[in-house]
Structure 1
Amino acid sequence: MNSGLPKRIRFTLMLPVVLILSAPVQSASLLDVSELRRGMQGVGRTVFRGTRIDTFQVEILGVLKNAFGPKTNIILAMLSGDPLETTGGIAGMSGSPVYVDGRLIGAVAYGWAFSIEPIMGITPIGEMLEILERPDAAAHTSIGGSTSSLEMQLSNVFSTIPEGLDVGQMQRVKTPVYMSGFSSEVLPGLREAFASFGLLPVQGGGGTDESLPEPTLEPGAALGVQLIRGDFNMTAIGTLTHIEGDRLVGFGHPMLFSGSTRLPMTTAFIHDVVASQIQSFKLGAAVKQVGVITQDRAPGIGGVIGKEAEMMQASISVRSPNRAETFEMEVLRNRELSPLLIQSAVVSSILSAEKARGEATIRTTLKLQIDGRGDALEFMNVYAGSRGLGEGVMGVTRPMMFLLTNPFEKVRVASAEFDLTIDETIKAARIESIRLDRSRFEPGDRVGLTATLRPYLRESFTVGSSVTIPSYFREGMLTLRVSSARAHLTQESKRIPGYFHVNDLDALIHVLENEHRNDALIVELLANRPGATVNGIEVSSLPPSVMVAMKGSRQSGNVRPVNQTVVSETIEQTDYVLSGQQIVFLSVGKEDGAIRFGPGQSGPGAKKK
């Protein structure tokens, strides 16, 4: 990154629509950092109230060479003027342009936690203008998908330092993110996630409000970037630094370190500045979409006026005994933040349906339309208990989280539909015991069983099922396992760990799509026969010669042995979220055949018939 001025400054004619949105802009005279001297006086531009651009005074203190790495300089300056004497640095000032002798030197962008005086770091304009030289992202580019690996690694390293605790660490001036539609219960999680990006969540004003006075796009004007829009809204607001034709730069530091992106860019109105001993911030709202943010880099963000944004479509339907609502929104595409933002929206949707916590049963459905994947993926489940709502929110968003954060391929979700049905009772039951219809078994026999289920605060009842012994199983011991989905998952992770160690996106989708629902009663017969998982797929009951050949594979990690295989399985759907399991050992093909219950278990079928 070069701290000097770019080799050429482009002057592009605005489109007619752009002339309406922004004031006529003449070429700004630029001042290189090499020409700055201590004691020089300057002026900054930003909005403190409404849409009027106010000025503040700047005194140059020096230049910090190589502040964040080779050839990345920061101009050190003291700011003054109303209201900075009482507020100090203000969240939302990021990008405020600073001029010395009428020439642009850069944008206010950095500061120090708990500083008594507003001594700030200014990103040189020469570094910011390099953003304008980058080509626009393609319409399908996914935010976070094209991030420079070095930039993301640096962002992750910096985020491990507890913000505000190291007073000597230069930090980005916080960017307020105004939210509407979100409940206060989700704020702590959002605050923690946003902290590593230097974002400050602020309730209220996240959506566009075209009834507000429309600002003019010019240096010093408030500039908004929408992360979510629709029934839920999030808009980050900073300051516009410089315009060239239909292109602009702002903020003076990264917002999400996303590289190429395509987020809605808006004008913004500032209601006022909220002074705080911890962090003063501008209280604002987006006014109107005017273009798209195409770059999110170390020296700032860059946008194009008049272009359209591209976001992920999502809907959330919530049904309860008292209410049925559907919420529509568009969400940014980001591997880390998108799942959290959607999770927060789902929680807020449930709270709006008048059911915050307590006993509940929640049935969930998620439909994901993924580009290049044909039919939509569908995931259904049910959760119950005092923590049922929380488990439901985590469960219904879990497949999207795994898919978006997978390490194998970029996944572009075209649309996501969440459906949640809430019943204010607990429909949960424990598998209490099982009874078998006989005690002696031969190959090919049908094993009939009756499972006794104990519902929460209700009388026990029974569910009948059966499973067939394969005719090829001649003689020996079989394990009959009757389990809930959660108990089954625990056992399977021990029996076939290779199944859950996926190596590609197809295997991940296969595991997610084949998870059992929590209301399923799973009846299985298992034999102590060798098998294997090949690239995560189970291959059962293999001959010894095949096992030897597979173990001799020259590729590591693709074959994992399995010592016990499932030879027969039946799934019974119930009306209850089940827990627990019962295990019975069956002797097959022997005259003195018998059944034996697992450790700590007994049941009505324990006696021979």
Structure 2
Amino acid sequence: MKTKSARSRGAAAIVASMALLGSGAAITASPAQSVPPAEDCATAFPVADITDGMLVDGLTVTDGVDPEAFTGEVLGVLTDGIAPGVDMIIADMESSEIDRVGIWQGMSGSPVYTEDGQLLGAVAYGLSWGPSSVAGITPYEQMDDYLPGQPATAKVAIGAPMAREIAASTDVTARQASNGLTRLRVPMTISGIDSARLKQLRQDRKWITRQGRAGSLVGSAAGSMAAEPADVKDGGNLGAAISYGTITAGGVGTVTDRCADDVVGFGHPMMFSGGTSLGLMPADALYIQEDSLGAGFKVANLGEPAGTITQDRLTGITGAIGATPAEVDVSSTVSYGSRERDALSHSLSQDWNADVTAMQLLSLHDVTIDAIQPGSEVAGITLTGTADGQAFTIDWSDRFTSDYDIAYESLWSMADLVWMLSRMEGVQLATIDTTGEVDDSTDTLRVAQVQQKRRGHWVTVNRRTPAIGSPGDLMTLRTRLAGPDGDTWLPQTVRVPRKAGGEGYLEVEGGSYTWNEGLYEAETVTEVQEALASDVRNDEVRASVTFWQRRGQVRAESVSDPQALVVVGQRRAPLIVRR
């Protein structure tokens, strides 16, 4: 076990954590700043001085927030086992929980100490063949070194001599040991959405993250149930998160060392993203789940951000308690008949704003409607933020109808808008608020006929009967909309451009048949706002006249007021210009 001096060092770190808790609230609203790697607060034991048979002990959490001790014995050192110049220490560990499940996912970062209290390293790897008490340890000497971009080692080979050593000291056979060691996963889990739905999103949009899997290994806790910054301590839980709330995306490992406000953990990368900005999260472990086919895993709830992870490197993650990443609040409300549900997530990365929005929208629809089914919806979104320091607000809404899955039909226009804005240079979103009112109707209105008024009479125009107009004159039209309750006539006018000439045509189309090309070509917030101002809703009707000339296209259009249903279909007729 650790000596008195080692225990005193750990106690001092805990006291520093608790002292910070009182002042942390004053700085959590500030954007996180990158900090240089922390100087080793613990005394790192030199790898060169390691000997076979050394007795060690460590700290990790199996339940709640308080670390428990485990013991072990060093079996040897694999030279360059993790990467060129980064050795791996092999040890056989023991505790009641390790005896039950073996080295588990989420144990990554658990500090391992020598008998005199020096920090040997962090548990980071487990045997590939299945549950085992044999662990691969990342030396602490190198855990806060920023190595050049070498691929993180996912599997480490074990030669015959080391395999025999492991077999001689444990109940693992040499053949099993020869399968090597695999980096313990800190599963980047996404909770709050069904795995099949997440797969569906990923198939439809390439920008939806491929990292992480849907599941319930991590969740979010609030209020008195949440872990606190003081719980981020040597051997304690350490979370790294991209979002929290309804949609929680992150992983939980273990703190290797906390020195004042600086924190080092995991012993291997989270996503190997180098310089980064992730939420540094305290966490409360619920239990360790055993797995007969592989390493067991920790199930935990994340608390609120306590700081920022600024480095995600080969030998671990580094961060600081204090300032947290800028949060984007993503709120959603969906109603369906008498049912109404709300959801709130906090995105900690601009790159994840659209992912969180799409996942939350789909998940909230599923729990509110409680089925994959047809229907209609009036959906809307309000976004606030800044562009080059100037505040902006964007409001948008539309009506949707689906014959199969209304939840999926309505989300993409809003999620795509968030994705575009989040990737614009100089743009920082602050809030994303979505609403949806769903019903069972799949009724639509269809553009069935177009007529033009000429000399007091209505004339049906189509491919055989052209429309007639003069430059600068207003064409008087009416469109027959066929609907579930019969036909209605929609009056419209459209002015023929003064420069009209050559071949032209008149087109009347339902809004669901239109495409806002300008929106998807926008490069600034102003261009987005201009494109949305001219956007045609799915429940509107657009009448347009277009002429092709040598110098390009001459065009004019008018758009109706919103109708009670989505409008489909289109009608086109040649347009003859008379001067």
Q: Which residue of 2 aligns with 1:313?
A: 329
Q: Give the CA deviation at 1:399.
A: 0.5
Does the CA contact (< 8 Å) of 1:527 and 1:567 recur in 2?
Answer: no
Does the CA contact (< 8 Å) of 2:131 and 2:295 recur in 1?
Answer: no
Q: Provide Cα deviations, 1:23-52, integer angstroms capped at 9, x if missing partner.
A: xxx963311233335554533321223434
Task: State the one-letter code of the partner of 2:109.
Answer: G
Q: Give the CA deviation at 1:448.
A: 2.3
Q: Which residue of 2 aligns with 1:566?
A: 555
In the alignment of these two chains, the number of paired residues is 506
SS in 2 for 1:374: strand
Deviates more, 1:443-452 or 1:269-278: 269-278
**Aligned-partner Cα distance in 2 for 1:250–1:435:** 72
Q: How does 1:23-38 map to 2 (within 5 A)?
A: 28-37=42-51
**Aligned-partner Cα distance in 2 for 1:564–1:226:** 50
Task: State the one-letter code of the partner of 2:469.
Answer: F
> Structure 1 residues 399 and 84, CA, compared in 2 at 3 Å: closer, same or farther?
same
Q: How does 1:572-591 map to 2 (within 5 A)?
A: 572-589=561-578
Does the CA contact (< 8 Å) of 1:291 and 1:303 recur in 2?
Answer: no
Does the CA contact (< 8 Å) of 1:263 and 1:310 recur in 2?
Answer: no
Q: Give the CA deviation at 1:278.
A: 4.8
Q: Does 1:421 align with 2:437?
A: yes
> Structure 1 residues 172 and 466, CA, compared in 2 at 3 Å: closer, same or farther?
farther
Task: State the one-letter code of the partner of 1:17.
Answer: A
Q: Which residue of 2 aligns with 1:304?
A: 320
Which residue of the other structure, out of 398, 409, 413, is the alignment partner of 1:391?
A: 409
Q: Which residue of 1 aligns with 2:497?
A: 470
**Aligned-partner Cα distance in 2 for 1:173–1:78:** 15
SS in 1 for 2:215: strand
Q: Give the CA deviation at 1:329.
A: 3.4
Which residue of the other structure, out of 250, 260, 275, is the alignment partner of 1:259?
A: 275
> Structure 1 residues 82 and 64, CA, compared in 2 at 3 Å: closer, same or farther?
farther
> Structure 1 residues 213 and 279, CA, compared in 2 at 3 Å: closer, same or farther?
same
Q: How does 1:67-78 map to 2 (within 5 A)?
A: 67-68=82-83, 71-78=85-92
Task: State the one-letter code of the partner of 2:320.
Answer: V
SS in 1 for 2:309: strand
Does the CA contact (< 8 Å) of 2:193 and 2:214 recur in 1?
Answer: no
Which residue of the other structure, out of 475, 481, 499, is the alignment partner of 1:447?
A: 475
Q: Which residue of 1 aligns with 2:369?
A: 354
**Aligned-partner Cα distance in 2 for 1:194–1:434:** 42
Q: Which residue of 1 aligns with 2:37?
A: none
SS in 1 for 2:356: helix
Q: Provide Cα deviations, 1:463-519, integer angstroms capped at 9, x if missing partner.
A: 22121213343x533211112334332xx86xxxx9855566654564456432211
Q: Give the CA deviation at 1:526.
A: 0.4
Q: Give the CA deviation at 1:307.
A: 4.8
Task: State the one-letter code of the partner of 1:587.
Answer: I
- Structure 1 gaps, min length 5: 1-8, 132-147, 159-166, 531-541, 543-562, 591-609
Q: Provide Cα deviations, 1:178-233, integer angstroms capped at 9, x if missing partner.
A: 77655676465699999965667326742246348988543222223454444555
Q: Which residue of 1 aligns with 2:540?
A: 520
Q: Provide Cα deviations, 1:434-455, integer angstroms capped at 9, x if missing partner.
A: 2232454333332222222233
**Aligned-partner Cα distance in 2 for 1:525–1:198:** 49
**Aligned-partner Cα distance in 1 for 2:186–2:560:** 52
**Aligned-partner Cα distance in 2 for 1:194–1:383:** 22
Percent identical across equivalent pairs?
A: 21
Q: Does 1:381 align with 2:430?
A: no
Aligned Cα root-mean-square deviation (Å): 4.1
Q: How does 1:204-283 map to 2 (within 5 A)?
A: 205-208=219-222, 210-211=224-225, 216-230=231-245, 233=248, 236-256=251-271, 257=273, 259-261=275-277, 263-283=279-299
> Structure 1 residues 227 and 62, CA, compared in 2 at 3 Å: closer, same or farther?
same
SS in 1 for 2:220: coil
Q: Does 1:333 align with 2:361?
A: no
Q: Which residue of 2 aligns with 1:401?
A: 419
Does the CA contact (< 8 Å) of 1:263 and 1:311 recur in 2?
Answer: no
**Aligned-partner Cα distance in 2 for 1:582–1:458:** 21
**Aligned-partner Cα distance in 2 for 1:443–1:264:** 65
Q: Give the CA deviation at 1:373.
A: 3.9
SS in 2 for 1:344: helix
Q: Which residue of 1 aligns with 2:488?
A: 461
Q: Which residue of 2 aligns with 1:137?
A: none
Q: Give the CA deviation at 1:259.
A: 2.4
Deviates more, 1:439-448 or 1:460-469: 439-448
Q: Give the CA deviation at 1:268.
A: 2.0
> Structure 1 residues 65 and 187, CA, compared in 2 at 3 Å: closer, same or farther?
same
Does the CA contact (< 8 Å) of 2:494 and 2:556 recur in 1?
Answer: no
Task: State the one-letter code of the partner of 2:46.
Answer: D
How does the TM-score come out when normalised to structure 2?
A: 0.74
Q: Give the CA deviation at 1:73.
A: 4.4
> Structure 1 residues 216 and 14, CA, compared in 2 at 3 Å: closer, same or farther?
closer
How does the TM-score come out when normalised to structure 1?
A: 0.71
Q: Provide Cα deviations, 1:529-580, integer angstroms capped at 9, x if missing partner.
A: 24xxxxxxxxxxx5xxxxxxxxxxxxxxxxxxxx433144444432222223
Task: State the one-letter code of the partner of 2:401.
Answer: A
SS in 2 for 1:271: strand
SS in 2 for 1:252: coil
SS in 1 for 2:417: helix
Does the CA contact (< 8 Å) of 1:255 and 1:296 recur in 2?
Answer: no
Does the CA contact (< 8 Å) of 1:96 and 1:107 recur in 2?
Answer: yes
**Aligned-partner Cα distance in 2 for 1:272–1:294:** 25
Q: Provide Cα deviations, 1:383-411, integer angstroms capped at 9, x if missing partner.
A: 1122322111222222002222x3x5153
